[in-house]
Structure 1
Amino acid sequence: MRVQVRGRGAGRWITFGAIAFGSLFLVVGLILAGVSVSFLTDAQRARGTVVTLEWRNDHSGVSRKKRTDDKPAAYPVVEFTSADGTQRKFRDSTGSNPPSYEVGERVEVLYRADSPDDARINGFASLWLLPLIFGGIGLLSAGIGTVVALVTRGRSQAAR
Structure 2
Amino acid sequence: MRVQVRGRGARRWFTFGAIAFGALFLVVGVILAGVSVSFLADAERAQGTVVALEWRNDHNGGSFKKRKDDKPAAYPVVEFTSADGTRRTFRNSTGANPPAYEEGERVEVLYRADSPDDARINGFASLWLLPLIFGGIGLVIAGIGTGVAMATRGRS
Q: Secondary structure at the match of 1:118?
A: strand
Contact 2:5 2:11 in 1 (8 A): no
Against the structure 1 CA distance between its residues 12 and 99, is the aligned structure 2 distance closer, same or farther, given a 3 Å change threshold? same
What TM-score, normalized to structure 1?
A: 0.91
Shift of 1:64: 5.5
Radius of gyration: which is bigger?
1
Shift of 1:65: 3.9
- Tell me the equivalent position of 1:26: 26
- Tell me the equivalent position of 1:106: 106
Structure 1 Cα separation of the partners of residues 77 and 59 of structure 2: 20
Gaps of 5+ in 1: none
Post-superposition Cα deviations, 1:47-96, rounded to whole Å, max 9, x if no partner, equal: 00000000000014864643201110000000000000000000000000
- When the two chains are superposed, the root-mean-square deviation of aligned CA atoms in Å is 1.6
- Tell me the equivalent position of 2:126: 126
Post-superposition Cα deviations, 1:94-128, rounded to whole Å, max 9, x if no partner, equal: 00000000000000000000000000000000000
Contact 2:74 2:99 in 1 (8 A): yes
Structure 1 Cα separation of the partners of residues 61 and 88 of structure 2: 33
- Tell me the equivalent position of 2:155: 155
Structure 2 Cα separation of the partners of residues 50 and 108 of structure 1: 10
- Tell me the equivalent position of 2:80: 80
Q: Secondary structure at the match of 1:99?
A: coil
Structure 1 Cα separation of the partners of residues 138 and 25 of structure 2: 4
Contact 2:110 2:122 in 1 (8 A): yes
Which deviates more, 42-51 or 67-76? 67-76
- Among all aligned residue pairs of Structure 1 and Structure 2, give the percentage whose two residues are the same amino acid: 85
Moved over 3 A (4+): 60-65
Gaps of 5+ in 2: none
Post-superposition Cα deviations, 1:4-39, rounded to whole Å, max 9, x if no partner, equal: 995321111111110000000000000000000000
